[in-house]
Amino acid sequence: MNSRDSEHMIAELNRKEPYELTTTLAEADLIIINTCSVREKPVAKLFSEIGVFKKRRKDGAKIGVCGCTASHLGKDIIKRAPVVDFVLGARNVSKINDVVDTKHAVEISTDYDESSYDFAEYRSNSLKAMVNISIGCDKSCSFCIVPATRGDEISIPSTLIVGEIAKAVKGGAKEVMLLGQNVNNYGRRFGSDDEKCDFVELLRKISSIDGLERIRFTSPHPLHMDDKFLEEFASNPKICKQIHVPLQSGSTSLLKEMKRGYSKEWFLDRCRKIRELAPDASISTDIIVGFPGESDDDFEETIDVLERVRFEQLFSFKYSPRPHTPAAEYQNQVDPTVASERLSRLQARHTEILDEIMDAQLGTIHQVYFDELKPNGRIAGRSDDGKLVFVEGSEELLSQIVPVKISKASRGALDGIVVDHP
Ligand code: SAH
């Protein structure tokens, strides 16, 4: 989501005057730090990065802090680091041109409605498009700062989404990644009362775009994984068979404390349904360990879900207390050493599972969409189920979807040989 926000800011800046991206800091006239604040670490990193940029920047180069940390710290960022020229919240990226030339401007309102804003076009990779389908988040997970930094959830009108994707397809994209905090809650609220469209209807509209071959989305919420949605996921040939199902914890009582709205049984039942309808789909997840009150038994429930579902990708985090969240005030915080041990155990077991999943790919054939040239005559792409695949090849494979036979498997990626290329 932050990557897409960065693209939006670049596009908007270019409406006013031409900017070019640079990887050489000393060349930059404008430095934008687009921040996250889901965990505490990135916040600390922000101020050390500002210090580095202050020292090494070109004379007179401006520094802007954007994104979720900008939303929650606001003008305190300028107080602490007066070298910062402007602060722009995660919900205000469309206002970049209003702040870029105003010394110490701060735009962070979380009730600002960007849902029908028609952003200018900029894509870092023209072969695959990221497209927002909603902004904000309506959940109240007790650990999560996102609703406080991105505001209430509003769906973007389907006509805007379809138009944006059609434009990206004309520009060469065969794949789209739909973005939102809870994509399968799409359509619950729009900026205007006339709009009506749910996520399944949106997926159908998007699939009818000529030239678009692949649809991915992130993140769906387990609570909204009803049968209608999972049936569309499984049966629509344009929808890639890769799904993120963020668990957070395997303990029903902890899920209740987290205010996730589902139980361990519901989560397992939804994963069972995915396997029943789409046996080849890969399932990934997010897990937090060391949430306040997590006992050894609670943690065992999480390990149990890992054993049963065998997630292909696991994003796992040690609980980090965040401002504006109820869980930060809970008295039963878990000892950080215990949380670290649990995290290591979870990750070690997941690594074994991942190795087994990847080894089983040897000799299989995947349809790979090649979207990135690599050094040393290699080219990279993704299989339908989201695996990173490398082959020997050059430009002529770029933007093609071709069958690849897997010849080597490692933890993060697969190597293969194109088997049937015209
Ligand atoms: N909307 C998504 C969450 C986006 S944040 C959802 O509901 O699933 C991405 C991930 O960061 C979360 O899924 C969670 O696993 C992790 N996370 C959020 N808050 C956290 C915190 N306070 N400490 C540790 N991890 C956290």
- 164-212 residue pLDDT tens: 999 999 999 999 999 999 999 999 999 998 899 999 999 999 999 999 9
Is the distance from the beta carbon of residue 38 to the nearest atom of ligand 1 less than 6 Å?
yes
Token digits of residue 271: 């994963």
Nearest-atom number in ligand 1 for the CA of 246 is: 8
Q: What is the pLDDT of residue 312?
A: 98
Average pLDDT of every residue of the chain? 97
Q: Average pLDDT for residues 285-306, to the nearest whole number? A: 98
Q: What is the pLDDT of residue 160?
A: 97
- 335-369 residue pLDDT tens: 999 999 999 999 999 999 999 999 999 999 999 99
pLDDT band with cut points at 50, 70 and 90 for residue 233: very high
Q: Closest by alpha carbon to 414, among 366, 348, 371, 372? A: 366
Angle of the 199-207 helix axis to the 158-170 helix axis, nearest 10 = 30
Q: Average pLDDT for residues 4-16, to the nearest whole number? A: 96
Q: Is the pLDDT score of 317 beyond 80?
A: yes
Q: What is the pLDDT of residue 420?
A: 76
Q: What are phi and psi of 278, to 5 degrees?
A: -135, 75
Is the distance from the beta carbon of residue 317 to the nearest atom of ligand 1 less than 6 Å?
yes
Q: Is the pLDDT score of 380 beyond 60?
A: yes
Q: What is the pLDDT of residue 82?
A: 97
pLDDT band with cut points at 50, 70 and 90 for residue 234: very high
Question: Which residue, judged by its Cα, is nearest atom 3 of ligand 1?
Answer: 181
Nearest-atom number in ligand 1 for the CA of 322 is: 22
Q: Which of 36, 137, 138, 144 to mutate to test the pocket of ligand 1 (most atoms within 8 A of CB)?
A: 144
Ligand 1: centre distance to CA 146 (Å): 8
Q: What is the pLDDT of residue 42?
A: 86
Q: Where are the alpha helices (DSSP H) in 278-335?
A: 296-309
Instruction: Report the run of H or E that residue 317 belongs to, with start and end.
Output: strand 313-318
Q: What is the pLDDT of residue 421?
A: 58
Nearest-atom number in ligand 1 for the CA of 137 is: 1
- 20-77 residue pLDDT tens: 999 999 999 999 999 999 999 888 899 999 999 999 999 999 999 999 999 999 999 9
| Alpha-carbon gap, residue 391 to 397, rounded angstroms | 10
Nearest-atom number in ligand 1 for the CA of 181 is: 1
Nearest-atom number in ligand 1 for the CA of 248 is: 15
pLDDT over 90 percentage in the chain:
96
Is the distance from the beta carbon of residue 259 to the nearest atom of ligand 1 less than 6 Å?
no
| Alpha-carbon gap, residue 149 to 110, rounded angstroms | 7
Is the distance from the beta carbon of residue 320 to the nearest atom of ligand 1 less than 6 Å?
yes
pLDDT band with cut points at 50, 70 and 90 for residue 253: very high
Q: What is the pLDDT of residue 394?
A: 87
DSSP output for 360-406: TTTT-EEEEEEEEEETTTEEEEEETT--EEEEE--GGGTT-EEEEEE
Taken in order of first residue, the domains within the chain and their CATH numbers are: 2-107 (3.40.50.12160), 123-240 (3.30.750.210), 245-360 (3.30.750.200), 365-418 (2.40.50.140)
Is the distance from the beta carbon of residue 260 to the nearest atom of ligand 1 less than 6 Å?
no
Q: What is the pLDDT of residue 422?
A: 54
| Alpha-carbon gap, residue 63 to 341, rounded angstroms | 39
Ligand 1: centre distance to CA 320 (Å): 10
Q: Is the pLDDT score of 274 beyond 90?
A: yes
pLDDT band with cut points at 50, 70 and 90 for residue 97: very high
pLDDT over 70 percentage in the chain:
100
- 382-421 residue pLDDT tens: 999 999 999 999 899 999 999 999 999 999 999 999 997 5
Q: What is the pLDDT of residue 43?
A: 86
Token digits of residue 85: 């020229």
Is the distance from the beta carbon of residue 158 to the nearest atom of ligand 1 less than 6 Å?
no
